[in-house]
Chain A
């Protein structure tokens, strides 16, 4: 499975847009890119998944360049409740087939 690299931590303020970039230089043709969010003492929660270009849902956008060697999770107008750890995962059939491989994630802290 492709290894991912993401910042250990990020700080932001309420109302700002937050972009978290993940590097995955060895991504394979069949790999999807998936982001999960985790609050303390809870299991991870799926945010968004994509293969290429841009994907948007009600909570986030995922930007994937043509070479797919990186991806950026964009959280619009964050609030205090977005303070959490965000994990970037890559893998074939991620979430629906093979095991998920989590790294250490990015701790996002949102302040007033």
Chain B
């Protein structure tokens, strides 16, 4: 296991279709994050899991978006009824949480899934 893996790397879909992305984190990492990035902008936080529990969701995550992390391993991000505004790079990251006062540990990002909605 050499890093965070995301599948597929690219996805083109028609407006109104559903899409699902998969993220396989680094195996010992208990924390997993999803981000969305559009051209010229920094990544925007979508949601965060600690093990299998989804602990935080951004207001950006509308009802059409859902994420799961069954068994605290891989995660999926599903977008229902896609819209052209959903076109973006979807990034997954994982990290090992140690808790304060040990400070942060680095988050490792995958290469992302580029979604194009036509």
Contact = CB atoms under 8 A, between A and B. Distances in A.
Contacts of B98: 96
Contacts of A25: none
User: Which applies to chain B's interface (DSSP): helix, strand, loop or mixed?
Assistant: loop
Contact of B104 (A43, A49, A105): A49
Contact of B109 (A45, A94, A101): A45
Contact of A44 (B56, B96, B97, B109): B109
Interface in B1-47: 4, 31, 33, 35, 40-45
Interface in A50-103: 51, 85, 87, 91-103
Given A41-B111, A49-B104, A96 B97 contact: yes
Given A51-B103, A87-B42, A101-B45, 5 more contacts: A34-B106, A43-B109, A96-B103, A97-B31, A105-B42
Interface in B50-101: 56, 58, 89, 91-93, 95-100
A32 B106 CA distance: 11
Contact of B105 (A41, A51, A85, A95): A95
19 contacts: A41-B114, A43-B91, A51-B103, A87-B42, A91-B104, A93-B100, A93-B104, A95-B95, A96-B31, A96-B96, A96-B97, A96-B103, A96-B107, A99-B33, A99-B58, A100-B35, A100-B93, A100-B107, A102-B35
Contacts of B31: 96-97
A104 B100 contact: no
The residue among B45, B104, B114 with the most chain A CB atoms within 10 A of its own CB is B104
A13 interface: no
Give the interface size class of chain A: 20 to 34
B42 A96 contact: no
Contacts of A100: 33, 35, 43, 45, 93, 107
B103 A32 contact: yes
Given A43-B4, A101-B45, A95 B40 contact: no
A34 B41 CA distance: 18
